Amino acid sequence: MMKKLLGRTNDYLSLVKFSHTVFAMPFALVGFFLGTEAAGEGFSLNIFLLIIACMVFARSAAMGFNRYADHRFDSMNPRTAGREIPAGRISQRHALVFVITSSVLFIVAAGLINRLTLVLSPVALAVILGYSYTKRFTPLCHFILGLGLSLAPIGAYIAVTDTFALLPLIYSALVLTWVSGFDIIYALQDDEFDREAGLYSIPAVMSRPSALIISVLLHVVSALLVAAAGLAGDGGVIYWIGATLFLALLAYQHSIVRPDDLSRVNLAFGTTNGIAGLIYGVMVIIDLLTGIL
């Protein structure tokens, strides 16, 4: 019984790629600590836990729905045919129930924070769930994914302060360009399949070299936004060390992926960006805390 339960749990964790939460979670926590500093009311464990809950439930809803919406294409693509729904480890009905449950829990958690986060929660859901259909009609799908994850820092800031501000918006723009850029790299794996299936992505509608150039340009913008965040937030030595490591890892991922060699795409997409986001987020938070304490 326990073995079966663990197996089912692992299937759902795999369905939502729980490990990829590391992309947005550090920036949500950056938004939280920025808001804590701006509000000047000290650390709130209640808000902190609710923000984490919102991130987990939103991520689960988004990825679960993506797998549900794309199960037909996933079953046709040799690279994705082993995913949970095509492989029959999770049924379509159970996946949809999981998505609905996660969405409701996200709205409830947002509602427990403040009225503005409650009002904005359906908007956030519309973006992160709607992304799953964008690949059917536009190669700009990468930017919609980036937009969805970019809601993390500004959303967390609003959770604490109940207001908007420039600095968390800079971090949101940074997440948008960073995620969009590395998602283009990830999509290189499926460019041929996407063209055959009538799906859109930048690699599918352009050449691989051109797609990689766009990815590089997006990460150049990310670098400018990292500098802008450091200047606007009066970042200290710790911030700039974290920023340097983050940008070095962004450069590294572009050095290991070539149009004629995609063997290290997963290293670039998952591992490198996961480490980059975690290091940068932690260093930004430490820099903020040393200024607060």
257 φψ region: left (φ > 0), alpha (ψ -120 to 50), beta (else)? beta
DSSP states of 17-85 = TGGGGGGTHHHHHHHHHHHHHHHTS---HHHHHHHHHHHHHHHHHHHHHHHHHTHHHHHHSTTTTTSTT
Q: What is the pLDDT along the chain (293 residues), one digit of tens a residue?
A: 555 555 556 666 656 565 556 678 999 999 999 999 998 878 899 999 999 999 999 999 999 999 999 999 999 999 999 988 998 989 999 999 999 999 999 999 999 999 999 999 999 999 999 999 999 999 999 999 999 999 999 999 999 999 999 999 999 999 999 999 999 999 999 999 999 999 999 999 999 999 999 999 999 999 999 999 999 999 999 999 999 999 999 999 999 999 999 999 988 888 899 899 999 999 999 999 986 54
What percentage of the chain carries pLDDT values higher than 90?
Answer: 84
The class (CATH top level) of 2-292 is: mainly alpha
CA nearest neighbour of 62 among 29, 111, 7, 21: 21
Specify whether the CB–CB gap between 189 and 259 falls below 8 A.
Answer: no
Structure tokens at 42: 């000290």
Contact 194, 136 (CB under 8 A): no
SS3 content of the chain, % helix, strand, coil (to 5): 80, 0, 20
